[in-house]
A and B are shown apart, each in its own frame.
Chain A
């Protein structure tokens, strides 16, 4: 019984660490997606139209916000605590 409990807790802590990893990776994902326009042609017939560019940029925005909101909410569900670097409770002060 007690062993199971420990396994469960560790699993939770593991999830938490991976969640923080995801939060760390998100801005880089956004950066890469938003830097794609650098590769677009600016002159000539195959220029990307402003309307499709608008749709693309806002779509990226929306997805990033959605992922960030999910991650932040799940992180918050872990309890009311603040999270320190390694996902553990910092000391009160």
Chain B
């Protein structure tokens, strides 16, 4: 009786201690003092819920029965952790970016947020987890009964102990597991309690191990000798089981709902994984270090037929170490309770989000959800009921199965069941072609084979006929020898067929089916999670009214959080108040918030109901899926931009040069014009002074001086006329008088006028036949141009026998008249400026003001034609081009 009381007292004290730890951790976090809660070591220790009571007690029993085979259960997860870079890192990043709440949520989110897939995974998880919870309850009940029985106390009612434990754990889980709804606000209390329990169970097992090695035996050397002498001295493990179990434990490590919960959902910082990658294998190694010694010593010490599963407890008891036995009991209790708590949280979240809530929403219609009914309340309630339900299920399973040895074997069977998610999980993370239908088909096939070949035979559910002759008498369908594979280990056999056919179905159906847009979008986001961590299953279209969204959000997230969120979003959009526009970005943020509470599938369904759209647009899809194209486009845009910039720079440079030139020309113009005006003015002034002041001038002189004054005044007038003319031409204020004329006549006139009264003889060569063209233009203006050009030749041609050729050519659209002399022409660098004002190529021969060609150009522009310098003709060459309109067809 005393032993039982002590046991109960210690257990209750330990439970109170756990509650205290969880409570203090929650409070510290709320006060912002929870820095220690986010240390990598806490994350690593929380992973230790992998080591349940089954591994705490069972590993020793396993070793006593099958030697080193138990190590496979630890080696698999060690390999997964050491290979974190491949898969875990991706899973954690995806879990964080997509706000994943459970493994079912992860799978459903990847496969187009399908609730059917999520429900399937949930059912698998419940079936796989329930026996496991039963196992934990059994271990606690069994260990306490052994403890009390060995102390000579009364027998303990196994089932009642299990019931109390179940109730206690359910209360703890409800208190600390449903405190906050949003999974992204992590369960710091629970995680901290689990970390403490991890230390307790490790310490307990180490204590027993140290006791066995150094106090019962004489140190490591002695232990190795004892191992040699024991029944498990040789290596008798079949290769298939060794490899198969390593694979199975690795798969289970990734797929078990409780592992996913602590590894991905409760992960606070991706960097913690880096530490856990070596720290957790260390934990596993240390946990398994003393298993064989304890088993060997137990086999030696204890009478034949005693349960090896309880050696951890019975060895200290048999050697009279009650305190150590108590510690060992607490260690086992820790393992059991932490597993149950996390497993129940994980599975209840799945059940509530993927089964209860969708049914409730479906039953209540979406319109009512937004207007009445408190989703938040419903969710909390459903999650609490799920917790109670699953714990109860575990208890019932324990009671119905009678807690026999069948339960011990269930651990691996459950592993194999949960491992059916693995192909879909890995395919979803690495293969964009994986589709929802493929995933569903694969999991269904795997699950069915697992049930048929492993789970049901373990209950003895099949008749001997089916076991021996196969279903419907088909030999190939024998549950433990499918397709004629005989004599294989049943577990290995089931695993081989279920996983391989699962994968095959998944791949083949995926290859043959076509994913919906949202599947493709999610697929791209999962597979390329490191490329674009901006996740955009975006909503376009603004059917939803912000107010409706707010009403709904308040029911899910709570009023305060919703208002904060909406205000923040409104501010981001630059809107005042609490109602942001329902733009895609905002809807996406909102959906992600929802999915942290109700899971991706339900969140998507809720928002899509309200927004009135159930899928993403092609644009959204392209935006994410074609990121390569985007990058390429972006770089080509950059290229185009830089090209445009270069072009602009070139243009600017040219403009700058031009401006500099123009400014210089303006200066030249001013000095030129002053000079041009000054010269005649000076002589006018001088001669008029002479006329005024000298009284004795002869009439002849007077006449001569007056002539000079007159001619200088004329020159001034001409200059001013030219300037005025040019200015008017430039401003297009010239009235043009169009009339008909023959080109040859016009050229005759021009040559005569241009060459009259000049001393140097310029010979003009023409081809009169080609000049017989009737033109329609401002003849006077055109004549002005011709005269100017001919006069230039006459003035500047430096040949010994100056000669000017006038060539007329009529091409399809225009008439060209070339004036080519036989001089040395104009230097290339001067060619560009010759049409500018006051530019004289040869300043020494300056006769005019340098306005002639400027005027010519303006005239030609006014007439719709042009005048250009024609290089490469052996002398100075000007081409006058008349437009088509100037040469009307001859009537």
Q: Which of B3-11, B231-239, B345-353, B359-367 contacts A (4 or more CB under 8 A)?
A: B231-239
Q: Contact partner of B278 among A50, A58, A72, A85, CB < 8 A?
A: A72
Please determine whether B82 and A93 come into contact, CB atoms closer than 8 angstroms. Answer: no
With CB as the reference atom, state the residue of chain B lying closest to A37. Answer: B242
B663 at the interface (CB under 8 A from A): no
Considering only residues 48-93 of chain A, those with a C-beta below 8 Å from chain B are 48-51, 53-55, 57-58, 61-62, 64-65, 68-69, 72, 75-76, 80, 82, 84-85, 90-91, 93
Please determine whether B235 and A61 come into contact, CB atoms closer than 8 angstroms. Answer: no
Please determine whether B234 and A47 come into contact, CB atoms closer than 8 angstroms. Answer: yes
A13 at the interface (CB under 8 A from B): no
Please determine whether A68 and B281 come into contact, CB atoms closer than 8 angstroms. Answer: yes
Please determine whether B238 and A42 come into contact, CB atoms closer than 8 angstroms. Answer: yes
Please determine whether B277 and A72 come into contact, CB atoms closer than 8 angstroms. Answer: yes
Please determine whether A54 and B79 come into contact, CB atoms closer than 8 angstroms. Answer: no
B477 at the interface (CB under 8 A from A): no
Please determine whether B271 and A27 come into contact, CB atoms closer than 8 angstroms. Answer: no
Separation of A91 and B530 alpha carbons in the complex (Å): 9
Q: Contact partner of A61 among B86, B243, B279, B285, CB < 8 A?
A: B285
Separation of A47 and B233 alpha carbons in the complex (Å): 10
With CB as the reference atom, state the residue of chain B lying closest to A28. Answer: B83
Please determine whether B533 and A90 come into contact, CB atoms closer than 8 angstroms. Answer: yes
Please determine whether A30 and B78 come into contact, CB atoms closer than 8 angstroms. Answer: yes
A8 at the interface (CB under 8 A from B): no
Chain B proximity of A64: nearest CB distance (Å): 6
Please determine whether B285 and A85 come into contact, CB atoms closer than 8 angstroms. Answer: no
Please determine whether B68 and A24 come into contact, CB atoms closer than 8 angstroms. Answer: no
Separation of A13 and B68 alpha carbons in the complex (Å): 43
Q: How many A-B residue pairs have CB under 8 A?
A: 118
Please determine whether B270 and A82 come into contact, CB atoms closer than 8 angstroms. Answer: yes
Please determine whether A57 and B271 come into contact, CB atoms closer than 8 angstroms. Answer: no
Q: Contact partner of B292 among A42, A54, A75, CB < 8 A?
A: A54
Please determine whether B274 and A72 come into contact, CB atoms closer than 8 angstroms. Answer: yes
With CB as the reference atom, state the residue of chain B lying closest to A21. Answer: B85
| Chain A residues with CB under 8 A of B281 | 61, 64-65, 68
Please determine whether B234 and A51 come into contact, CB atoms closer than 8 angstroms. Answer: no
Please determine whether B82 and A64 come into contact, CB atoms closer than 8 angstroms. Answer: yes
| Chain B residues with CB under 8 A of A43 | 236
With CB as the reference atom, state the residue of chain B lying closest to A76. Answer: B274
Please determine whether A27 and B236 come into contact, CB atoms closer than 8 angstroms. Answer: no
Please determine whether B533 and A38 come into contact, CB atoms closer than 8 angstroms. Answer: no
Separation of A87 and B86 alpha carbons in the complex (Å): 14
| Chain A residues with CB under 8 A of B533 | 90-91, 93
With CB as the reference atom, state the residue of chain B lying closest to A64. Answer: B82
Separation of A41 and B235 alpha carbons in the complex (Å): 8
| Chain B residues with CB under 8 A of A42 | 234-238
| Chain A residues with CB under 8 A of B713 | none
A1 at the interface (CB under 8 A from B): no
Please determine whether A50 and B246 come into contact, CB atoms closer than 8 angstroms. Answer: no
| Chain B residues with CB under 8 A of A24 | 83, 85-86
Q: Contact partner of B246 among A34, A41, A49, A58, CB < 8 A?
A: A34
| Chain A residues with CB under 8 A of B667 | none
With CB as the reference atom, state the residue of chain A lying closest to B83. Answer: A27
Q: Contact partner of B82 among A35, A48, A55, A68, CB < 8 A?
A: A68
A14 at the interface (CB under 8 A from B): no
| Chain B residues with CB under 8 A of A48 | 234-235
| Chain B residues with CB under 8 A of A68 | 82, 277-278, 281
With CB as the reference atom, state the residue of chain B lying closest to A31. Answer: B79
| Chain B residues with CB under 8 A of A69 | 278-279, 282
Separation of A42 and B83 alpha carbons in the complex (Å): 30
Please determine whether B79 and A50 come into contact, CB atoms closer than 8 angstroms. Answer: no
B504 at the interface (CB under 8 A from A): no
With CB as the reference atom, state the residue of chain A lying closest to B221. Answer: A51
Chain A proximity of B221: nearest CB distance (Å): 10
Please determine whether B68 and A50 come into contact, CB atoms closer than 8 angstroms. Answer: yes
B159 at the interface (CB under 8 A from A): no
B67 at the interface (CB under 8 A from A): yes
Separation of A53 and B279 alpha carbons in the complex (Å): 23
Chain A proximity of B308: nearest CB distance (Å): 15
B831 at the interface (CB under 8 A from A): no
Q: Contact partner of A38 among B67, B243, B270, CB < 8 A?
A: B243
Q: Taking each of B85, B86, B227, B233, which has the highest tally of chain A beta carbons within 10 Å of its own beta carbon?
A: B85
Question: A50 with B235: in contact, given A27-B83, A91-B533 (CB under 8 Å)?
Answer: yes
B158 at the interface (CB under 8 A from A): no
B289 at the interface (CB under 8 A from A): yes
Separation of A64 and B80 alpha carbons in the complex (Å): 12
Chain A proximity of B653: nearest CB distance (Å): 29
Query: Chain B 71-91, CB within 8 Å of chain A: the 1/0 string?
Result: 100010011101111100000
B228 at the interface (CB under 8 A from A): yes
Q: Contact partner of B227 among A27, A54, A84, CB < 8 A?
A: A54
With CB as the reference atom, state the residue of chain A lying closest to B67. Answer: A50
B534 at the interface (CB under 8 A from A): yes
Please determine whether A62 and B285 come into contact, CB atoms closer than 8 angstroms. Answer: yes
Chain A proximity of B84: nearest CB distance (Å): 8
Shortest beta-carbon contacts, A-B, top 8: A27-B83, A69-B278, A38-B239, A68-B278, A51-B224, A85-B530, A48-B235, A84-B530
Instruction: Beyond A49-B235, A50-B230, A84-B530, list 11 extra A-B contacts (CB 8 Å).
Output: A24-B86, A37-B237, A47-B236, A51-B225, A51-B228, A54-B68, A57-B68, A61-B281, A65-B278, A76-B274, A80-B271
Which of B's residues lie within 8 Å of A, judged by CB? 67-68, 71, 75, 78-80, 82-86, 97, 224-225, 227-228, 230, 232-239, 242-243, 246, 270-271, 274-275, 277-279, 281-282, 285, 289, 292, 530-531, 533-534
Q: Could you list some 8 contacts between A and B, CB below 8 A?
A: A37-B239, A42-B235, A50-B67, A50-B230, A54-B224, A68-B281, A72-B275, A85-B531
